[in-house]
Amino acid sequence: MPATVVVGLQFGDEGKGKIIDFLADAADVVARFNGGANAGHTIQVGQDLYAFHLLPSGVLRKRTMNLVGNGVVIDPEQLLKEIEETRARGHPVKNLLISDRAHVVMPYHRILDGLEEKLKGNLGAGTTLRGIGPAFEDKVGRFGIRMCDLIDPEVLRAKLQKIVPIKQRLIEAYGGTERLDPDALFAQEEAYGKQLAPFVTDTSAWLDAALRKRKRVLFEGAQGTHLCIDHGIYPFGTSSDCVAGAAAVGAGIGPQYLTEVVGVAKAFTSRVGAGPFPTELEGAVAEHLRERGGGEYGTTTRRPRRVGWLDLVMLRMAARVNGLTGIAVTKLDVLAGLDRVRIGVGYRTNGAAFKEFPASMRVLSQCRPVYRELKGWPDLPEEEWVRIAAKGKRALPEPARKYVAFIESQLKVPIRILSMGRSRAATIGR
């Protein structure tokens, strides 16, 4: 464990929240390093379901410290709402630290997100409309407001005085009719800053000290490799880096600390939002996957997820760019009740065969998957999956075991964790 990064290998929604929660048992610290409130990490504790967007997934465990690193963009309104809701459910949320270098998502970012999406037309990613893109644009464009500014009223006022008129002009240029009120905005954000100030600190220095003391740290990635701004399906992904290397940058530590990288892959593929999706399914099998358990709807936006077969071209690339040391496969219980299941093992276009994931959207949209067909496994009630989990991998239905073994042999990375349900008990792993 010492410092383990958990990343998504597909388009997000791989079940990272559940895997982080499972691994958090052995962790002293859980740190977020990328994304923002576009993330939706679902955790089940007993019969209770929690969906976190900004709070790290270790927040329900009293002895685990939770960090929101500098690489995350923070919507103060959303974060405060989450803290309040979690407190109302009996968790004190005293185990939280927020980076003073993290950038703030402002209301104008949410407005601009909507306007940009409209103007982009078929180049729009179908964003979560949480202001993520515009907040990262401001970070890189150096128009950003950071947490250290949010909690410093003088600086906050001075920055907003400069920035708000520029954003107003941008909104108008984009055809928007929203009016920004600088005074009201300042008053609101200043109040948020006051409430969040007790959590804000130099998380990089804090984490470095913790790692020197050999604390066990779990880096909680948001989204997935194929939504990554650098390695994902561009421009149909998100605006931050979602791969393991980003954990060092986004949490403010040296890369030498990162000892393990666990990639989470769903047993099939799903995505919310627009963009090419070679193994996408329509019709009965798609409905089957989407409806089972009611889980295949975006945690953040409730949009129906697009679903398809597992895609090993995507996963091979993800294994490489993340430097995986282990894999967690989730939702084996959802990909159940089918006679036959398929796995994409390569792509073909009119002329060429592809082993590597193409960069060009034009090429990718012409790619047709080459499938390997395997036997399916029966649909089992949750209690049965829990019983199987207690016995270990050998107790899995044989076709499911073969399915997992096939993935492992293709990716050449050990599969360390299998998940067959939302509960902590429906998990096989160390």
Binding site for ligand IMP (CB under 6 A): 11-13, 38-40, 125-128, 130, 132-133, 222-223, 227, 236-239, 272-273
Q: Which does 14 bind (CB under 5 to 8 A by kind): Mg ion, ligand IMP, none?
A: none
Contact between 296 and Mg ion per CB under 5 A: no
Among 270, 299, 330, 427, binds Mg ion (CB under 5 A): 299
Proportion of the chain in helix, strand, coil states, percent, rounded to 5: 40, 20, 40
16-45 positions binding Mg ion, by CB under 5 A: 40
Would you say 34 or 210 has its CB closer to ligand IMP?
34
- DSSP line for 341-396: EEEEEEEE-SS-EESSPPS-HHHHHH-EEEEEEEE------HHHHHHHHHH-GGGS
Smallest distance, ligand IMP to C-beta of residue 215, A: 27
CA distance to 59, 165, 403, per residue, from 31 (Å)? 10, 35, 32
Smallest distance, ligand IMP to C-beta of residue 40, A: 5
Smallest distance, ligand IMP to C-beta of residue 341, A: 23
Q: Which does 227 bind (CB under 5 to 8 A by kind): ligand IMP, Mg ion, none?
A: ligand IMP
Q: Which does 309 bind (CB under 5 to 8 A by kind): Mg ion, ligand IMP, none?
A: none
Contact between 64 and Mg ion per CB under 5 A: no
Judge whether 415 and 390 are in contact, CB under 8 Å. Answer: no
Would you say 133 or 358 has its CB closer to ligand IMP?
133
Gap between the Cα atoms of 293 and 288, Å rounded: 10
Q: Which does 15 bind (CB under 5 to 8 A by kind): ligand IMP, Mg ion, none?
A: none
Would you say 127 or 427 has its CB closer to ligand IMP?
127
Q: Is residue 235 classed as helix, strand or coil in its secondary structure?
A: coil
Host H or E run for residue 47: none
For the chain, counts of helices (H) and of strands (E): 14, 20
Q: Residue 342: which of 367, 310, 378 has the closest Cα? A: 310
How far is C-alpha 42 from the geometric centre of its chain's CA atoms? 11
Gap between the Cα atoms of 275 and 228, Å rounded: 13
Task: Give backbone dihedrals phi and psi of 117, rounded to 5 degrees, phi first.
Answer: -60, -45
CA distance to 3, 183, 196, 301, per residue, from 110 (Å)? 34, 18, 20, 14
Smallest distance, Mg ion to C-beta of residue 222, A: 8
CA distance to 136, 267, 287, 338, 374, per residue, from 333 (Å)? 37, 9, 15, 11, 16
Smallest distance, ligand IMP to C-beta of residue 390, A: 30
Contact between 273 and Mg ion per CB under 5 A: no
Which residues are catalytic, by number? 13, 41
Which residue is at the shortest CB distance from Mg ion?
A: 40
Would you say 95 or 300 has its CB closer to Mg ion?
300
Would you say 61 or 130 has its CB closer to ligand IMP?
130
Would you say 37 or 207 has its CB closer to Mg ion?
37
Gap between the Cα atoms of 29 and 39, Å rounded: 19
Mention every residue, 6+ apart, whose C-beta is less than 8 A from residue 347. 278, 313, 353, 354, 358, 367, 368, 369, 370
Smallest distance, ligand IMP to C-beta of residue 2, A: 27
Among 3, 13, 196, 357, binds Mg ion (CB under 5 A): 13
Site of interaction with Mg ion (CB under 5 A): 13, 40, 299
